[in-house]
Amino acid sequence: MPTKSDIKIFVMLVGACGYEKSWQYAIDRISKKMKYRLGDLFEMNLIEIFSPESFSYKEILEGIQNRKLQTPVVIINGNIIQSVGKLSEHVIIMEIEKQK
């Protein structure tokens, strides 16, 4: 049985005016599409920058503070695969499939 890919998506806190305009909504939609294609081969988590959980990821916070990284930052199994731009389910899926 293949191991699950651990996907973490780091975003800046945004005061969205509703769920449909939030990062959580975007990630839920991508996750739903990916589950259709990949099943349970991954676990995806949203981490807001400067939330208590984010401080466990010193490399990500330092990268953002030093302007070497920009949100959203996507890491899979500890490897940064995307920094800045739109979230791309295609990029995430391709990376998971490479790691199978």
Domain limits, the chain: 5-99
Question: What tens digit of pLDDT does each residue of 44-82 get?
Answer: 999 999 999 999 999 999 999 999 999 999 999 999 999
pLDDT at residue number 99: 78
Q: What's the per-residue H, E or C state across the chain?
A: CCCCEEEEEEECCCCCCCHHHCHHHHHHHHHHHHHHHHCCCEEEEEEECCCHHHHHCHHHHHHHHCCCCCCCEEEECCEEEEECCCCCHHHHHHHHHHHC
pTM: 0.87
Q: What is the CATH number of domain 5-99?
A: 3.40.30.30
pLDDT at residue number 2: 63
